[in-house]
Amino acid sequence: MTFALVASHVTLSGSGFTEPARFSLADRCAAAAAAGFTGIGLHTNDLSPTSSVDPIRAHGLELVEIEFLSGWALGTDLATVTSTEQRAFAVADQVGARYLSAGEYHSGPLNFARAAAALHERCARAAVHGLRIAVEPFPWSAIRDVPTALRLLELADTPNAGLLLDTWHFFTAGGRIPDLARIPPDLIVAVQLNDGPSTVSGDLLTVSRNTRLLPGDGTFDLRSVIRVLSESGYDGVYTAEIGNPAFRALPVEEAAHLAYEKVQRLFT
């Protein structure tokens, strides 16, 4: 069985998570479509007021994911939050998109009531532009795992918010396959698929950006992830999010084909 799959921004950018894309949007879209992807993701750092997103439509693709909104939960950088929103909303108004991913890069105690109120407000703003907000837990951050994100979503109490489940973050934070069955499927906005090592050490943010492996190159039981989520009723978006130095060095066409083939095999 073949599933519709999405290529995340970093999978096709040919660069690191915070670096300018090495390939043009036109080249990324052409590679994604040729490989078999039906959608792509963009990062707001890749966008400007004059950015053209015409290649997305020209290659028959859907813009599924826009990333990344940070600073809102801890309230540490509201100017950046506003700037990120403006760029995300502008591109969503041009070509449409399903969701804007959000979370916290920094650690620290989380005031759940304040963070939930901030999330509720951001969701209301995003809804005007047809976007959901997908909260992505990072194991080093204030929103460190799925239970933390689910508590925040419950308090925010808005249908426009949901969970972005990234397999690298899930397993690194100590998540186990049976835990997935306890996540309400309607709360999952999307699932980002990548493989990774069984243990990690050092700065987790840096490690996470350099050990996102192709399926089969690591130790994660990704087939069981898909099976359990499917059995629980999830039938939404799956994205390939691959990021490591060797993969980034590939030509964009090769990266797209490898990512698509490796992820698609998980569904067969």
pTM for the model: 0.95
57 falls within a domain:
yes
147 falls within a domain:
yes
100 falls within a domain:
yes
Q: Where are the alpha helices (DSSP H) in 111-250?
A: 112-127, 146-156, 167-172, 177-180, 204-208, 222-232, 245-248
Kindly give, in sequence order, each residue whose CB lies less than 8 Å from that of residue 82, ignoring residues fewer than 6 positions away.
none
The pLDDT, as a whole number, for residue 1 is 40
115 falls within a domain:
yes
Q: What angle do CA 70, 21, 238 make, to 5 degrees?
A: 65
Three-state SS at 203: coil
Q: Give residue 35's domain range.
A: 6-267
Number of domains in the chain: 1
1 falls within a domain:
no
The pLDDT, as a whole number, for residue 126 is 98
197 falls within a domain:
yes
CA 53 – CA 125 distance, rounded (Å): 22
Q: Which two tokens stand for residue 99?
A: 């969701």
The pLDDT, as a whole number, for residue 124 is 97
80 falls within a domain:
yes
The DSSP-derived string for 186-201 is GGEEEEEE-B--S---
For the chain, the first-to-last Cα distance in angstroms comes to 5
What torsion do the CA atoms of 143, 179, 181, 1 make, to the nearest 10 degrees?
90
In order along the chain (268 residues), what is the average pLDDT of each group of 10 residues?
Answer: 80 92 96 98 83 91 96 90 94 95 94 97 97 98 98 97 98 97 97 95 90 96 98 96 97 98 95
What is the enclosing helix (H) or strand (E) of 56? Answer: helix 54-58
The pLDDT, as a whole number, for residue 3 is 59
CATH of the domain at 226: 3.20.20.150
27 falls within a domain:
yes
**Inter-axis angle of helices 112-127 and 78-95, nearest 10:** 30
Q: Name beta bridge partners: 67.
A: 43
Question: Is residue 133 a contact partner of residue 99, using CB atoms and an 8 Å limit?
Answer: yes
